[in-house]
């Protein structure tokens, strides 16, 4: 067994205690200051599913709001969002941001044309606007869903899914998230689905990044990976540093 597989096997052994550590973290961050609860954006993907499941275990379903935020989203993601809600007892609501997206993009394109990636990032920022409106009204915190793998290469939208109040999964690689998902009862359809930020039709994380999550997670866990993947990973890490730090000030 290589170092990567050995690490994952060891995580599997200790996954129950890791889950409890993360549940306790959520309680400390929300109950400690006397806040009402948590808001989680639900994408139909594994990271938001694990985050929501941890929040429900920590706070109870009556204090967690999951928000499905379609914007011309694929049906499979909506179906998986509902499967998750049914599986973990999540209070799931829907706010369709498609109309807002349709209204704002033409106004911006009156200044300059937007490519598919920028339009996708605009969807992500509109989604975060909704989450903060709900959190503001309820006195809740917005809980981030970005994992260690995504954060390392900046695979999140600044002002979108890269913006939140707390993050209970930031130290987990994508492979560890999958192991934790099974422990928490996340539906199999979500665990096995190709990861996607649902920014445009057919979009997948690995296709957009240019390497696999195994390439990335092997580097993070063992320090070794395919040379061509390592070059691309370190390039993305370098140019996304601004996403991981507070803005420079003088």
Question: Considering the domain boundaries, does residue 143 fall inside one?
Answer: yes
Question: Considering the domain boundaries, does residue 232 fall inside one?
Answer: yes
**Which residues form the domain of 194?**
3-243
Annotation says 47 is catalytic: yes
Angstrom distance (rounded) from CA 205 to CA 68: 19
Question: Considering the domain boundaries, does residue 205 fall inside one?
Answer: yes
Question: Considering the domain boundaries, does residue 105 fall inside one?
Answer: yes
Question: Considering the domain boundaries, does residue 168 fall inside one?
Answer: yes
* Listed range (26-30, 104-108, 142-146, 191-195) with the worst mean pLDDT: 191-195
Whole-number pLDDT of residue 200: 65
Closest CA to 41 of 165, 222, 173: 165
Q: Is 117 annotated to bind ligand?
A: no
Average pLDDT value for the chain: 95
The half-sphere exposure of 31 on its side-chain side, counting CA atoms within 13 A, is 12
Joined together, the tokens standing for residue 55 give 């929040």
Which residue among the candidates 80, 144, 150, 205 is catalytic per the annotation?
150
Which residue among the candidates 17, 20, 31, 47 is catalytic per the annotation?
47
User: 55-103, pLDDT tens digit by residue?
Assistant: 999 999 999 999 999 999 999 999 999 999 999 999 999 999 999 999 9
Angstrom distance (rounded) from CA 10 to CA 199: 34
Cβ atoms < 10 Å from Cβ of 179: 20
pTM value > 0.85: yes
Q: Is 42 annotated to bind ligand?
A: yes
Question: Considering the domain boundaries, does residue 211 fall inside one?
Answer: yes
How do 91-94 and 141-142 pair as beta strands?
A: unpaired
Domain CATH for 11: 3.40.50.620
Q: Is 145 annotated to bind ligand?
A: yes
Residue percentage of the chain with pLDDT more than 90:
92
Q: Is 17 annotated to bind ligand?
A: no
Question: Considering the domain boundaries, does residue 13 fall inside one?
Answer: yes
- pLDDT of 157 > 80? The answer is yes
Are the C-beta atoms of residues 168 and 51 closer than 8 Å to each other? yes
Annotation says 150 is catalytic: yes
Question: Considering the domain boundaries, does residue 249 fall inside one?
Answer: no
Task: Give how many domains the chain has, as a whole number.
Answer: 1
- pLDDT of 105 > 70? The answer is yes
């Amino acid at each position: 067994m290589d170092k990567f597989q050995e690490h994952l096997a060891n995580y599997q052994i200790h996954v129950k205690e890791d889950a409890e550590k993360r549940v306790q973290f959520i309680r400390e961050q929300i109950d400690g200051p006397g806040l009402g609860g948590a808001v989680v954006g639900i994408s139909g993907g594994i990271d938001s599913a694990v985050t929501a499941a941890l929040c429900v275990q920590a706070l109870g379903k009556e204090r967690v709001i999951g928000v499905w935020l379609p914007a011309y989203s694929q049906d499979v993601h909506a179906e998986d969002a509902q499967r998750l809600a049914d599986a973990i007892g999540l209070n799931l609501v829907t706010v369709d941001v498609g109309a807002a997206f349709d209204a704002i993009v033409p106004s911006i394109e009156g200044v300059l044309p937007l490519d598919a990636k920028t339009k996708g990032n605009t969807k992500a920022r509109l989604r975060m606007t909704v989450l903060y409106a709900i959190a503001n009204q309820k006195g809740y915190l917005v809980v981030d869903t970005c994992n260690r793998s995504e954060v390392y290469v900046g695979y999140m939208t600044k002002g979108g899914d890269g913006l939140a109040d707390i993050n209970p999964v930031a130290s987990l690689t994508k492979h560890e998230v999958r192991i934790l998902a099974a422990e928490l009862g996340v539906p199999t359809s979500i665990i096995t689905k190709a990861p996607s930020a649902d920014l445009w039709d057919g979009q997948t994380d690995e296709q957009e990044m240019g390497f696999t999550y195994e390439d990335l997670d092997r580097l993070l866990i063992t320090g070794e990976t395919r040379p061509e993947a390592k070059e691309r990973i370190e390039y993305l890490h370098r140019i996304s540093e601004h996403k991981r730090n507070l803005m420079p000030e003088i």
